[in-house]
Amino acid sequence: MKQTMENKIGNWNAIAWLLQRLTAVGLLLFLGIHFWLLHYRHPGEVITYDSVLMRLRFQPLLLADLGLLIFGLFHALNGLQAIIQDYGFGAGGKRGLGWILLLLGLVMGLLGGFALWQTF
């Protein structure tokens, strides 16, 4: 069996692991803000397009939403990548389904990012 080797793309596994933790901490913050503002501050209030406009006009909150989008997608899809590797795919440094996940992440990120940008 081929010797386990560090991945060809530098120290990828280690960096992905670190980013998983960093995005996790970021998500605690961004999700907290998101849940509070959109749901628990005024329970039962239905969100309207105008309320979204008002919120995104305030730059820190736009950044919080963008942060949530980017961090959330990375954390989620990297998590899936780890699960796939747990089942033996990606052994020997092969990326396998990683490219598909990356593509999915980019597509969803663009959709969400564009929607936010266009609204703003």
Partner 1 sequence: MKGMHLVTREGLDVAYKTEMISNAEVWKPGSVGMIAWYLQRITGVALVGYLLLHIFLIGSSLLRGRAAFDSMLSLLMGSKLFLILDLALLAAVLIHGLNGIRLILFDVGVGILNQKKIFWTAMAIALGLFAWAVVRMGPELLK
Partner 2 sequence: MGSFLNVTLFRYLPGTDHSPRYETFEVPESKQMAILDVLTYIQKHLDRSLTFRYSCRIGMCGSCALFINGRSRLACRTLVDGLGTKDIHIRPLPNLPVIKDLTVDLTPFFDKYEKIKPYFIAKEDREDFYRVPEGAKERILVDKMLECITCGACFSSCTMVTTNPFYLGPAALNRAFCLIADKRDGAGAKRLRLVNGPEGVWRCHGQFNCMEVCPKKIIPTWSIQQLKKRCVFKKWMGIG
In sequence order, the 6+-apart residues with CB closer than 8 A to the CB of 16 are 78, 81
| Choices 7-15, 46-54, 70-78, 108-116; region in contact with partner 2 by CB under 8 A | 7-15
DSSP codes joined into one string, 14-82: HHHHHHHHHHHHHHHHHHHHHHIIIIISSTTPPP-HHHHHHHHHSHHHHHHHHHHHHHHHHHHHHHHHH
In the stretch 55-84, what mask flags binding to partner 2 with x, by CB under 8 A? ---------------------------x--
Q: How far is the CB of 92 from partner 2 (least distance, A)?
A: 8
Find the shortest distance in angstroms from Cβ 115 to partner 1. Answer: 4
Report residue 53 as tokens: 């406009």
Among partner 1, partner 2, none, residue 3 binds (CB under 5-8 Å by kind): partner 2
Kindly state the tokens that stand for 37: 């503002």
Q: Does 87 contact partner 2 by CB under 8 A?
A: yes
Q: Which does 13 bind (CB under 5 to 8 A by kind): partner 1, partner 2, none?
A: partner 2
SS3 6: coil
Q: How many residues does the chain have?
A: 120
Binding-site ranges for partner 2 (CB under 8 A): 1, 3-7, 11, 13-15, 17-18, 82, 85-88, 90-93
